[in-house]
Structure 1
Amino acid sequence: MFILWPSFFMAGVTVALVFAVVDPSDLSWFGAAPMALPRAAIYTLSFLIFWLLISAASAMSLYLAQQQKSPPQ
């Protein structure tokens, strides 16, 4: 929970900040036609992607911090 709860919160903040600037109906994959998904689906998928990325970064930070504390062998 040291990783998942803060990353959940920050994913929500990130989605709010991104979609305050970007309209979900304007998003497209690599210059193709705009996505044919409802806005709610785009918000949900974006939230899950942001949550995954922020969780991975937080997990790596926690892992590296624990490695730093271990005594040299």
Structure 2
Amino acid sequence: MWILWPSFLMAGAASAVVFALVDPLDVMFLGHLQAGRMTVYTVGFFIFWVMAALSSALTLRIAPRGVELDEFGDPVE
């Protein structure tokens, strides 16, 4: 949930911004295939969600690890 929840919120915000500027009926796939509004909204949201989740996962992966402590507060080796 450390990855999915923040990425869900960012996907919602990104969808709101992008689709406030772009009309889904103007989006064409492969130059000639046109989809409905709800399809473009849904696919766009999930694309934004995956991109934000990958970004969050990468950030969590490269974040420095803290020192593990035992029950007495001493570092564990």
Settle same-fold status: TM greater than 0.5: yes
CA contact (8 A) 2:27 2:34 kept: no
Aligned amino acid, residue 12 of structure 2: G
Rounded Cα–Cα distance in structure 2 between residues aligned with 1:70 and 1:52: 27
Structure 1 residue corresponding to 2:62, chosen from 61, 64, 68 = 64
Identity percentage of aligned residues: 43
Structure 2 residue corresponding to 1:50, chosen from 39, 48, 51 = 48
> Considering only aligned residues, what root-mean-square deviation do their CA atoms show, in Å?
1.6
Q: How does 1:1-73 map to 2 (within 5 A)?
A: 1-29=1-29, 32-33=31-32, 35-65=33-63, 68-69=64-65
More helix by share: 1
Greater relative contact order: 1 or 2 (C-alpha under 8 angstroms, separation 6 or more)? 1
In the alignment, structure 2 segments of 5+ residues that lack a partner are 68-77
In the alignment, structure 1 segments of 5+ residues that lack a partner are none
Q: Please, what TM-score do these two structures have when normalized by structure 2?
A: 0.78
Aligned amino acid, residue 6 of structure 1: P
Which stretches of structure 1, 4 residues or longer, exceed 2 Å deviation after superposition?
Answer: 68-71
Rounded Cα–Cα distance in structure 1 between residues aligned with 2:23 and 2:35: 13
